[in-house]
Every structure is written in C-alpha cells, then in structure tokens.
Structure 1
Amino acid sequence: MDLNSKSVEEKIRQYRVFKSCSQSTLIGLCEVANHPMSQARLCALASGFSGGIGGTFDEGTCGALTGALIALGFLEDDEIKIKMDAKKLYDAFKKEYGSVQCSIISKNGEDKSPCVDCCVYAANEAIKLLKE
C-alpha cells in the first residue's frame, strides 16, 4: 500500500469543501490506499461521527480523529497493532490540538477554520503509523 501524504492531503482538501471532517479524512486515506469500499459507503460509515459524533460538538470526539481511526481499521489487518496505533494517534492528536473534543477545537462548531488542518494532521499521523 502506497499512502502518499500529499495525495491524501489533496483528497481531504477537495472533500472537506462539501463533506464532514470524519468523511473527508476517511475517504482521503482509503481512496489513496485503493481500499475497495465505495465512497458512498465510506461516507455513510463516517457520517455518524460528524460534528463531534452526531453533531453534538460539545463532548464529541473530533471527526478528523475518528475518520483516521476508522481508516486504521480498514488499512491494517493486525488488531493488536490497530489498538496500539489508535492510542498513539489519539495521544499525538491531543498533544497537537490540546484536546480531542470537537467543541474545544471548533468552538462548538462556530469556528471551523482549524478543521481541514485537523483532518490533514490526523491523516498524516495515521499514514506514519501504517508505514511502521
């Protein structure tokens, strides 16, 4: 699997115009990795994680992070590695943004300016872990 971070970033930026963070991150990673699931199914799978899980924003986990975590499960076969990588990704994301809560990062959805960068960051961290 050749996950080129520049290609993933381009996909994320393209999709984030009209898709959520969870959808954009998941689709960007899976399309570049040539995962066989259709874009429509990937969107449906990630849709419940939009806006901090179900649009709750307040206590929900950032969709960029959840999209990347779902992608780890699709693109890695070893369940033990997936769980370990999920923790590493969570910790790295929290360190970078100070939180994993959508409400804190996006000010309860009122400021979505950091969203694309969150998606790209989460995807790039996932790529690093998948290449280990």
Structure 2
Amino acid sequence: MEAISARAEKAVEYKHNRCNCAQAVLMAYEKELGRPAEDILAMGSGFGSGMGGMEGTCGALCGAVMALGLLNKSDTPSKMIAKDMLQEFKEMSGGATICRDLKGIGTGKMLCACDDCVRHGVLVLEKKLAGING
C-alpha cells in the first residue's frame, strides 16, 4: 500500500475527535475547500455510519467524492474520476464500498476499520487530484 500521508493521518485525528468518516475526510481538505468548518461539517453530517446508516456507501468515500467535486479543476467530469476512486477504494479496503460490508455486519468479518477507510478515502483523493490538477 502507498505510504500513509500526513493528510490521511490528520483525517484520522478528526475522526477521533469530533467527526464522522465523511466529515473527517472533508476537514482534511478544509484549507483547500475554502469554506468555513461549520459548512464542511454540515455537508458531511448525513454520511456518518455510511450513507443511510450503514446501508450505503462508506462515508469516507462519500467525503472524498464531495471534496473532489469542489476541487476538480480539470476538464474530466468528476463522476468519471469518482468511478475510478470507487474502484481504487474498493481494492484498498478488502473488496467493499458499503459500510455494513466493510464492518462485517452480518458476516462477522470486518474488511476495513473506520480509521483505514478514512485513510483510504484521503489517499484515493490525493492520487486523483495529483493526476488531474497537477
């Protein structure tokens, strides 16, 4: 796996202090997003325990895609980049993107802990931003 970035570790700190997974990834980009922390936190507030309360996409991945939408300065539509991000996140996170699957709800086998999901969200976003915004 790629080296864990300082930004990814900062996102994990946010996760441990006051944020859900989506908010943690978004807050790691607070400066670049150029919006007040209250707005960033509000934007990610509905994605705790995955979109829909563990039934949907991992909040960390949702946060990464939200940040992408605001930071993408390329001609490539964000939805195309997000498709690649989803696949890369899935590969890094044990083969899943749905929160309940990642946490092993129903199977008893956790594929990826929240801290690592947050790291993976930041890492896939960093990789894409470096490639598109150079």
Instruction: Identify the residue that residue 114 of structure 2 maps to in structure 1.
Output: 115
Task: Name 2:101's counterpart in structure 1.
Answer: 104
Q: Distance in 2 between matches of 1:67 and 1:90?
A: 12
In 2, the alpha carbon distance for the partners of 1:131 and 1:14 equals: 23
Q: 1:50 aligns with which of 48, 51, 58?
A: 48
> CA contact under 8 A between 2:22 and 2:59: conserved in structure 1?
yes
Query: Percent of aligned pairs with the same residue?
Result: 32
User: Number of aligned pairs?
Assistant: 123
Corresponding position of 2:73: 77
**Residue aligned with 1:68, SS:** helix
CA distance in 2, matches of 1:10, 1:96: 16
Q: Is the 8 A contact 2:33 2:67 kept in 1?
A: no
Could you say what secondary structure the match of 1:127 adopts?
helix
Are residues 1:90 and 2:89 paired?
Answer: no
Q: 1:13 and 1:49 mapped to 2: Cα distance?
A: 16
Q: Deviations over 1:86-119 (max 9, x none)?
A: 01000111222211110011234x97x7101111
What CA RMSD, in Å, does the superposition of the two structures yield over aligned residues? Answer: 2.2
C-alpha deviations, 1:10-30, integer Å up to 9, x for none? 3212111131001001111x2
Counterparts of 2:49 and 2:75, CA distance in 1: 27
Offset of residue 71 of structure 1: 0.6
For 2:32 and 2:60, how far apart are their aligned partners in 1? 20
Is the CA contact 2:27–2:37 (under 8 Å) kept in the aligned structure 1? yes
SS in structure 1 opposite 2:5? Answer: helix
How far does residue 79 in structure 1 lie from its aligned partner after superposition? Answer: 6.2
Structure 1: distance between partners of 2:96 and 2:8 = 22
For the residues of structure 1 that align with 2:80 and 2:13, how far apart are their CA atoms? 30
Counterparts of 1:82 and 1:102 in 2: how far apart (Å)?
Answer: 22
Give unmatched runs, 5+ long, in structure 1.
Answer: none
